[in-house]
Chains A and B, each alone.
Chain A
Amino acid sequence: SAVISQKPSRDICQRGTSLTIQCQVDSQVTMMFWYRQQPGQSLTLIATANQGSEATYESGFVIDKFPISRPNLTFSTLTVSNMSPEDSSIYLCSGGGGGGSTGELFFGEGSRLTVL
């Protein structure tokens, strides 16, 4: 299994600002993803974080709003840019596909953002 740490765990942000969330995995994983969970809803995939190259975004999500970096197999960042109250959500990092992988995906504790 993989242990995934995210920071910050929560933050209150002002409209128009940007915030970067960090995700650290305790072992090398092939795949890393970023999900969003809006209040009272389930998880929606934002993008696949690709090591050393541009992330692959799902429909409805764009790089200018959610720039993602992944410099190596254990670390990724997600920036939420020019935030509005609609961006208030829990953002979750996930990873899978390390050595001996069973296909299981693991998640961090999430970063709860509140935009005022």
Chain B
Amino acid sequence: KQEVTQIPAALSVPEGENLVLNCSFTDSAIYNLQWFRQDPGKGLTSLLLIQSSQREQTSGRLNASLDKSSGRSTLYIAASQPGDSATYLCAQGWAFNDYKLSFGAGTTVTVRA
């Protein structure tokens, strides 16, 4: 069974500091990895999708890397803002054309003004 782990569970930083969120997975036969943002009591917003053939993806202040050999993905958020406060979830895709995801427990980020 695929297991996805996110450390730390919570993170508090001052505004302007760069954020580094870690995700590890046990199944080396990863198809893709997706990062999501979840605001309290809300649904999930897709942030970045990395295919297994890719090393990283970037969108604005966000950059996500994927290292299949070590079973790790890292989400970097540059110059954090209070609006970045949310829970960030990573999820591993299982197989081509399957779309099922295994989710980590998330990292809850607080950016202090």
Contacts and interface: CB of A to CB of B under 8 A. Distances in A.
B43 interface: yes
Nearest to B41: A112
A90 B49 contact: no
B87 to A, nearest CB: 9
A104 B49 contact: yes
B105 A105 contact: no
Interface string A25-63: 000001101000000011111001000000000000000
A109 interface: yes
Contact of A41 (B32, B43, B44, B105): B105
Nearest to B6: A42
Main secondary structure of the interface of A (DSSP, over half): strand
A100 interface: no
A43 B89 contact: yes
B101 A105 contact: yes
Interface centre among B44, B103, B104 (most CB of A within 10 A): B44
Contact of B46 (A41, A92, A106, A109): A106
B93 A103 contact: yes
Interface of B: 31-32, 34, 36, 41-46, 49, 51, 89, 91, 93, 97-101, 103-106
Lowest 8 A-B CB distances belong to which pairs?
A: A107-B44, A109-B43, A110-B43, A31-B99, A43-B103, A96-B99, A42-B105, A104-B49
17 contacts: A1-B46, A30-B97, A31-B98, A31-B99, A33-B99, A42-B105, A43-B44, A44-B103, A45-B100, A45-B101, A92-B43, A103-B32, A103-B49, A104-B34, A105-B34, A105-B46, A110-B43
